[in-house]
Amino acid sequence: MAQTITGGCLCGAVRYKITGDLIFSGKCYCEDCRKSGSTGHSSVLAVPEPSVSLTGKLTEFKKKGSSGQPISRKFCPVCGSRISSAAAVMPGVLMINASSLDDPEKFVTQMSVFASRAPSWDQPPASSPAFPEMPPQAH
């Protein structure tokens, strides 16, 4: 279902608007998401990159993901709020951090990935599928 979702960083220097359909939403419990997110997981909305319009400047940090391919994380250089990430293994897909949404209720977990790595104090919700690593890919 097409919708418009807005969000931005803590200080307001970065703003975005998403117009269109979501690809998926979920929680990731990999080590990178835990460490970069200051909690046991990262919650993201995956959207087609062209559906996002952004104002403000972002700083980028790149690192190899578990696939061996790079993941780019972008954040506000003023307040440090995480805004998005993009994985080379998913070209054209932008993952927006749910913590940056203006209306946090726009995020609904459809799945959890790398659930085998979830800490005891932050377990995946029982209300949606949880994959021990990444879900099987459809070909």
Residue 139 binned pLDDT confidence (cut-offs 50, 70, 90): very low
Retrieve residue 63's tokens.
Answer: 């690192």
**pTM of the shown model:** 0.89
Is pLDDT at 49 greater than 80 in this prediction?
yes
Strands (E), 15-102: 15-20, 24-28, 42-48, 52-55, 59-64, 70-75, 82-87, 93-97
Is pLDDT at 52 greater than 60 in this prediction?
yes
pLDDT digits (tens, 9 = 90+) for 62-88: 998 877 889 999 999 999 999 999 999
Q: Return the sign of the alpha-carbon dihedral for residues 16, 56, 99, 24.
A: positive
Residue 2 binned pLDDT confidence (cut-offs 50, 70, 90): low
- On average, the pLDDT of the chain sits at 91
Q: How many CB atoms are located within 10 Å of the residue 133 CB? A: 12
How far is Cα 126 from Cα 105, in angstroms, rounded to an integer?
18
Residue with the larger pLDDT of the pair 120 and 139? 120
Is pLDDT at 20 greater than 80 in this prediction?
yes
How far is Cα 64 from Cα 139, in angstroms, rounded to an integer?
24
Q: For the chain, give the percent of residues with pLDDT over 70.
A: 96
